[in-house]
Structure 1
Amino acid sequence: MKISPKRLIAGDTIGIVAPASPPNQESLIRSFAFLESLGLKWKLGKHVKDVNGYLAGTDEDRLADLEEMFADPEIAGIICAGGGYGSARFAERLDYQLIQENPKVFWGFSDITYLHTAIANYTDLITFHGPMLASCVGKETFHELSAKMFRQLFEPMELHYSEAISPLETLSPGFASGELTGGNLSLLASSIGTKFEVNTKGKLLLIEDVGEEPYRVDNLMNQLRLAGKFSDAAGIIIGDFAKAEPKKEISLTLDEVFQHYTADLGKPVVSGFKIGHCEPHFAVPLGADARLDADQKTLTILPGVE
């Protein structure tokens, strides 16, 4: 049975960690005003300002920051400063029993997908795929709807996505319900063949990515297809694929790639969701039950907190 983390309340302290690449410190500082507007206090991980090449400190230090935030009883939730690369480097050393015994809000996306998938495999905790502090919240482009999505951490609320938010396209018709899983396509593909391999059986699979040309998206989709992840899934939710323009004149379009892999699945597939490296960014609870209606072009997700 899934574990819903306790809701946040005004006055709570959230822990800020950088499990992957070094976050932009100026943008991170600017994000604090938003946390204050939510009535939250914050505590920085000891190594959030560290720089180790393309990593925010050593694997040991990034791991220690994350585990300390889960272990600290004064920390009500954890929000990642940013993504980039590096979360998978310490996934096998993460103390999943610690997380299982200290369930709390865990929020991030992009490279954090690897931690979402690992936590889903080894605990029953619902985690949140949402915009991060330095890479999203602290920027001038941070959208009003993205900000509103944080409300789901303070009260249990059903989320509804329709074409009122963005144009959607049905690639395969039908209706399906199941647990929501997934995230960044590159990270999901890199989990294949490991003990952190994404489990899509009977679930609604969410995919998104950034900076990947159509041939690269094709390669990643094919990897998931060959691993049975599409055939196992109850339905597929295609989020935002930003900066995906081909560099060569001769190329398939992204739409053609998605059509190739999903049109004949015989299960609901809808694309166009503003979920991912985009503004607005519609944040969702991974592990929560959801319903995808490809005929009506709607996605409904049950609350992530209790």
Structure 2
Amino acid sequence: MRPKRLVQGDTIGITAPASPADIQKIRQAIPFFEQMGVHVKLGKTIHLRYGYLAGTDTERLADIHNMIVDDSIKAIMFARGGYGTARIADNLDYQLIEQHPKIIWGYSDITYLHTAIRQITGLTTFHGPMPASDIADSDFDDLSASMFRQLLEPATLHYSEAISPLRVMVPGQAVAELVGGNLSLLISSLGTPYEIDTQGKLLLLEDIGEAPYRIDSMLNQLHLAGKLDAAAGIVIGDFAEAEPPEGKSSLSLEQVFHDYFSGLRCPVMAGFKIGHCFPHFSLPLGEKAVMNTADKTLTVEAGVR
């Protein structure tokens, strides 16, 4: 189920389903959307704070539900990640989302909502940079900005080494539905009704601020849960700030990846600028994708209609 594309004059809503947003950064990001030719409506949670959350669970849920049923809002942009979307997954009205399918965009902690929404409703959602954490950043670059065009002009996306060097860990070609996102959030879905389904899927993995031993632990859990062996292919995105604790001996991140990926029977390729990085290549999750290690490319079908 693909959402409708945006057209000039449409309105997008910005809400904070996880950690509190910096209102100044939100305001800095608004001109970016206005230059796209769309209007911006801010949700109530943009101004709320409840400890490390952007309002209570009830307030954050209400903000999302209000934007879903508001037919004047054609896309929902999540302000930032942080922590909190798993807390509201159980009470999210998935039937409401099916009745009002629209563009849903974000990443990081939003991975939990991407996974739950896609697996329950079949709606394509978008893994891409967010207003408060990325668009307002001084390092936000032209390529990252250009990725939003896919919401206005449906087009097949093509990733090659023109964007970044790619490293083949296991050769081959995979043609499958693209799923995944932030590794730690995928791990937190295991054993829940929203457990990531990787069977025959092209699995995207990225994360930030996790030391190699922590990434090792999470990949081991995916391995023991059968999620790596079940995948049709693995897309290794950016693992930012993955430094070992100071003064502690450690495996390198490359060694950890080798231990968990080199023995898989599916193709695996690393080096994609997808995640907590610039440029940030945005992708529709739930769409058919082709990863070919022979020419080092990833091609993904358009996510809007």
- TM superposition score category, shorter chain reference: over 0.9
Residue matched to 1:63: 61
In 1: Cα distance, 2:90 partner to 2:131 partner: 26
Task: Quote how far apart the aligned CAs of 1:25 are.
Answer: 1.4
The one of 213, 216, 221 equivalent to 1:215 is 213
In 2: Cα distance, 1:227 partner to 1:117 partner: 17
Q: SS of 1:48's equivalent?
A: helix
User: What amino acid maps onto 1:135 in structure 2?
Assistant: S
Residue matched to 1:136: 134
In 1: Cα distance, 2:241 partner to 2:294 partner: 28
What's the RMSD between the two structures over aligned residues? 0.7
Task: Encode CA deviations 1:163-182: one digit per residue, 9 max, x unaligned.
Answer: 10001100111001100000
1:83 maps to 2:81: yes
Unaligned ranges ≥5, structure 1:
none
Q: How does 1:264-279 map to 2 (within 5 A)?
A: 264-279=263-278
In 1: Cα distance, 2:8 partner to 2:79 partner: 20
Q: SS of 1:177's equivalent?
A: strand
In 2: Cα distance, 1:161 partner to 1:47 partner: 35
Residue matched to 2:295: 296
In 2: Cα distance, 1:47 partner to 1:273 partner: 32
In 1: Cα distance, 2:23 partner to 2:117 partner: 27
TM-score normalised by the chain length of structure 2: 0.99
Task: Quote how far apart the aligned CAs of 1:249 are.
Answer: 4.0
Task: Quote how far apart the aligned CAs of 1:63 are.
Answer: 0.6
In 2: Cα distance, 1:218 partner to 1:161 partner: 27
Q: How does 1:1-306 map to 2 (within 5 A)?
A: 3-247=1-245, 248-306=247-305
Q: Percent identity?
A: 58
User: What amino acid maps onto 1:264 in structure 2?
Assistant: G
User: What amino acid maps onto 1:175 in structure 2?
Assistant: Q
Q: SS of 2:264's equivalent?
A: coil
TM-score normalised by the chain length of structure 1: 0.98
In 1: Cα distance, 2:209 partner to 2:187 partner: 15
Q: SS of 2:115's equivalent?
A: helix
Q: SS of 2:45's equivalent?
A: coil
User: What amino acid maps onto 1:49 in structure 2?
Assistant: H
Unaligned ranges ≥5, structure 2:
none
Task: Encode CA deviations 1:105-164: one digit per residue, 9 max, x unaligned.
Answer: 000000000000000111010000000000000111111100000000011100000110
Q: Is the 8 A contact 2:229 2:265 kept in 1?
A: no
Task: Quote how far apart the aligned CAs of 1:294 are.
Answer: 1.7
Task: Quote how far apart the aligned CAs of 1:295 are.
Answer: 2.3
In 2: Cα distance, 1:63 partner to 1:302 partner: 30
Q: SS of 1:245's equivalent?
A: coil
